Amino acid sequence: MRTVHSTAGDIARNLSLVGDEIADTAAKIDEHEVAALAAHLGQTGRVFVAGAGRSGLVLRMAAMRLMHLGLTVHVAGDTTTPAISSGDLLLVASGSGTTSGVVKSAETAAKAGARIAAFTTNPDSPLAGLADAVVIIPAAQKTDHGSGVSRQYSGSLFEQVLFLVTEALFQSLWGSTDEPAEQLWLRHANLE
């Protein structure tokens, strides 16, 4: 195994690199796209989230925050997740918009009459084509090595900005309620 190390200077440079890339990319997001997605979250019905890999992990975090708001939220693939149906919303993320399991989930949701909201880098992707609301995150796709869009590895920028956008969504939705943090805290997991 190769030995790896890093100096304090390396860490400082890379903190700046990551922070700058996140800020630059977030500034390019169309707020109207995010607001349209928020409108779907504000409708009645359950919310389901589906994503693969690190994007899926970010959506799991978003699911938790939406649950804190009092929404009924399920994570696709969990053993207790019920069937999606008409009136529900599927929230998905795939940088490429071609991740097979995510696209298949969207196809299933569409056949069931559910609405679909997607985060992707690719507006021409199959996933974007299935979605009722699309938020384009202008980051490099994970196989887009050396493009100049990001110096980070394999889709990291997409996932980082996805987290930022889902947190901004939560903050905006919470801000439209009169619920204090103490009320949301009552819904926080207590079987930890």
Q: Residue 173's CB: how many other CB atoms inside 10 A?
A: 16
Instruction: Give a three-class secondary structure readout of the chain.
Output: CCCCCCCHHHHHHHHHHHHHHHHHHHHCCCHHHHHHHHHHHCCCCCEEEEECHHHHHHHHHHHHHHHHCCCCEEECCCCCCCCCCCCCEEEEECCCCCCHHHHHHHHHHHHCCCEEEEEECCCCCHHHHHCCEEEECCCCCCCCCCCCCCCCCCCHHHHHHHHHHHHHHHHHHHHCCCCCHHHHHCCCCCCC
Domain presence at residue 6:
no
- Determine the pLDDT at residue 140: 76
Kindly report, residue by residue over 103-127, the tens digit of the pLDDT: 999 999 999 999 999 999 999 999 9
Kindly report, residue by residue over 81-108, the tens digit of the pLDDT: 999 999 999 999 999 999 999 999 999 9
Q: Residue 85 is part of which domain span?
A: 31-185
Domain presence at residue 36:
yes
98: which 2 tokens? Answer: 């071609």
- Residue 99 phi/psi, 5-degree rounding, is -55, 120
Catalytic positions: 159
Domain presence at residue 18:
no
- Determine the pLDDT at residue 101: 97
How large is the average pLDDT for residues 47-64? 97
The radius of gyration computed from the CA coordinates of the chain, to the nearest angstrom, equals 18
For the domain that residue 152 is a member of, what is the CATH number? 3.40.50.10490
Domain presence at residue 96:
yes
Residue 145 has pLDDT above 70, yes or no: no
Please give the tally of structural domains in the chain: 1
